[in-house]
Amino acid sequence: MTADRSPRTLAIDVGGTGLKMIVLDPNGAAIEERHRVPTPRPATPRAVLEALRGLIGTQPPFDRVSVGFPGVVHEGVVATAPNLDGDWHGFKLANALSTLTGKPVRVANDADVQGYADIEGRGVEMVLTLGTGLGSALFVDGHLVPNLELAHHPYDGKRTYEDYVGKRALEKVGKKRWRRRVGKMIEHVEPIWNYRLLHLGGGNAKLLHAEGLPANVLVHSNEAGVLGGIALWKD
C-alpha cells in the first residue's frame, strides 16, 4: 500500500474480453491490485458503462480517470470500436465517464496507453498488443503518433493483420502455429517501420517465447494496459 497522496488516477482498460481497472498514486504506482470483470456481450456503450459502474464502486478514492479504449478516439469521442458494438461510433466516452464518476476523464487508444508504460522514450518504438484484436502504437523519442491502426491493414490477400494474429486466429490454429504467425508479422513490419524497439503486450503476449524473438522485441505484462494510464495526465 502506498502513501495517501493526490492526485490519484483511476486507470481503466476497456478490452474486447475484459474490463480492467486500478488506482495509481501520483508516481504511477498501484495502490491496490488490478480488478477485472468480463466485457459484457453485446458490448454496447450502455452495457459496458454499467459494468464499469459496478467495478468503480469497489475502488479506493481517486481524483481523475484515464481510459484505454480498443479503437480510434478523438478528443474523448469514439470513432471506431471493431471488437465491441456498432453503437460506439460517435459515442462521447470521456463525457459519459465524467458524468458517471464526477471526475475529469481522458481517453486514448488502448495500445497508446500500453505503450506509455512500456517504452524507453528513445528513437522509434512500436507497440503491438495481442488480445481479442491487434492494437498498435508508434512513438518517436517518447512522443506518441496517435491512432495508428495497423490491425486492419491488408496482410495476405483478403486477410488483415488482425485476422492473422487476433484471438480468433489463435483459437483456430493453436498456440504453436499462432506463435509462428506472430513471428511472420514481425518480419513484415520491421523493414517498414524500422523501429529501434518493438514492444509486445496484451493478454495473449504471455503465450510467446521470448527466446524465439529478435533481440529488439520485448514482451510485456498485460498490466501495462492500465499502468500507462497516468501518462495521459502528463501534459
pLDDT in tens, 130-183: 999 999 999 999 999 988 989 989 887 789 999 999 999 999 999 999 999 999
Structure-block grid coordinates of residue 123: 528513437
Q: How many CB atoms sit inside 10 A of residue 232's CB?
A: 21
Please check the confidence at residue 43 and state whether its pLDDT lies above 90.
Answer: yes
The beta strands (E) that lie in 115-196 are given as 124-130, 134-140, 143-145, 154-156, 159-160
Structure-block grid coordinates of residue 105: 476523464
pLDDT at 158: 84
| Distance between CA atoms of residues 28 and 185, nearest Å | 32
User: Are 19 and 43 a contacting pair, CB within 8 Å?
Assistant: no
pLDDT at 1: 39
Please, what is the average pLDDT of the chain? 93
Buried b (16+ CB within 10 A) or exposed e, 144-181: beebbbbbeeebeeeebbbbbbbbebbeeeeeeebbeb
pLDDT at 235: 63
pLDDT at 4: 59
Q: Domains for the chain: give ranges and CATH numbers.
A: 9-112+226-233 (3.30.420.40), 117-220 (3.30.420.40)
Buried b (16+ CB within 10 A) or exposed e, 75-97: ebbbebbbbbbeebeebebbebb
| Distance between CA atoms of residues 182 and 186, nearest Å | 6
Please check the confidence at residue 10 and state whether its pLDDT lies above 90.
Answer: yes
What's the pTM?
A: 0.88
User: Are 12 and 68 a contacting pair, CB within 8 Å?
Assistant: yes
